[in-house]
Copies of this chain bind each other. A is one copy, B any other.
């Protein structure tokens, strides 16, 4: 484990959780105190303040990068050098260039590399994606992901140099990959439009950003990210297809509601903004946020010699999309997504909604009205006139 902070601890808990057979055997942290504390907390026999010591240690078969964004490339370079399998936290790079370099490093070294995009492994997401893939929603028209909360836990996130960006890079990387999955990872993201602003925090980077990403088949991805949301962590996906809809709420409304006067216990629940009134805890945070299913995929993929669901290539595509978003936030117009490598489909057309009703008409809508009429709205093929017609319900 490279890094002993908030996310490193979450990862360790997921890996050690339940009756897991995997173990964190070594930890690197910049400060000796942190390294020792982490080692003690999770029973790691090995710790060091030198990253290369840990990466090169023969006990280590898989390196897990849980470092600030500006340290990812260096860590990946060491893994490539020492031929160690590697999994890296999100975002992969601070920009597409860094991500591309990392992708190339692992490809050239021929090592296993996984992109720790946990929100594409939440139990709800996995089942929702299965529904999308089996056709329950028809053709996907729009996929939105929203992640907003009152701001990250550690100082380095708030520093543009170390983090590489603000809430858009930090949270938008999740949202972009979620929408890509729903729309189809083989559908090319073509262009992006973005609004970003620093509305509420005394920082250089954006604390609020909204973007649209258009795909080659006409589908649209959307994200909403903020570090100035009040009320907890708002984590929601919404998907629209021609045949259905999915709404997922992963954190603030999951079927667990509690009211407390605050007179009782002291500590109530993590990330809640208050410890009295109505609270909305999450049962099993590590599982609900996807960590269990993610590491299961990563370790199993490495054992089985296959690629994991989320690869460094995916991390690179995400960074390329976010680069286009940052450019658009500056230019005020759609910016193309610049992909040096594209492995999916190409040359798709935007799909039209023309659906035959009969030889003379296109179908628009069918409806039962208040007063019991069964009504149909059609478009005449010749001339394009829109007409209404009552039909007999069988």
Contact = CB atoms under 8 A, between A and B. Distances in A.
Interface string A102-121: 00000000000000000000
A104 B222 CA distance: 39
A150 interface: yes
A202 B255 contact: no
Interface string A293-333: 10110011000000000000000000000000000000111
Contacts of A220: 195, 197, 208, 210
Contacts of A293: 18, 284
Given A21-B20, A278-B280, A265 B203 contact: no
Interface string A367-394: 1111010010101000011111000000
A42 B7 CA distance: 34
Interface in A342-364: 350-355, 362-364
A261 to B, nearest CB: 4
A164 interface: no
Residue from A18, A247, A273, A333 whose CB has the most chain B CB atoms within 10 Å: A18
Interface in A278-292: 278-284, 287-288, 292
Nearest to A251: B255
A274 B275 CA distance: 12
A134 B241 contact: no
A142 interface: yes
A367 B153 contact: yes
Contacts of A264: 134-138, 241, 243-244
A48 interface: no
A125 B283 CA distance: 7
A248 B240 contact: no
Contacts of A372: 267
Contacts of A265: 131, 134-136
A202 B248 contact: no
A128 interface: yes
Interface stretch (A27-35, A81-89, A169-177, A226-234): A226-234
Q: How many copies does the complex hold?
A: 4
Contact of A155 (B200, B331, B377): B377
Contact of A260 (B137, B156, B212, B228): B137
Nearest to A252: B255
Contact of A276 (B138, B245, B277): B277
B247 A258 contact: yes
Contacts of A367: 150, 153
Contacts of A21: 19-21
B218 A199 contact: yes
A250 B254 CA distance: 9
A340 interface: no
B386 A159 contact: yes
Nearest to A156: B386
Sorted nearest first, the 5 A-B pairs with minimum C-beta distance are A123-B283, A277-B277, A134-B265, A123-B284, A135-B264
20 contacts: A18-B292, A123-B283, A124-B283, A137-B230, A150-B367, A151-B364, A153-B369, A198-B353, A199-B351, A200-B353, A210-B220, A230-B243, A234-B245, A241-B264, A243-B260, A243-B261, A246-B258, A254-B254, A261-B273, A284-B287
Given A9-B370, A127-B282, A158-B386, 18 more contacts: A20-B20, A122-B283, A127-B284, A128-B281, A136-B260, A153-B369, A195-B220, A197-B218, A200-B353, A226-B240, A231-B278, A243-B261, A244-B260, A253-B255, A261-B273, A267-B368, A277-B278, A332-B333
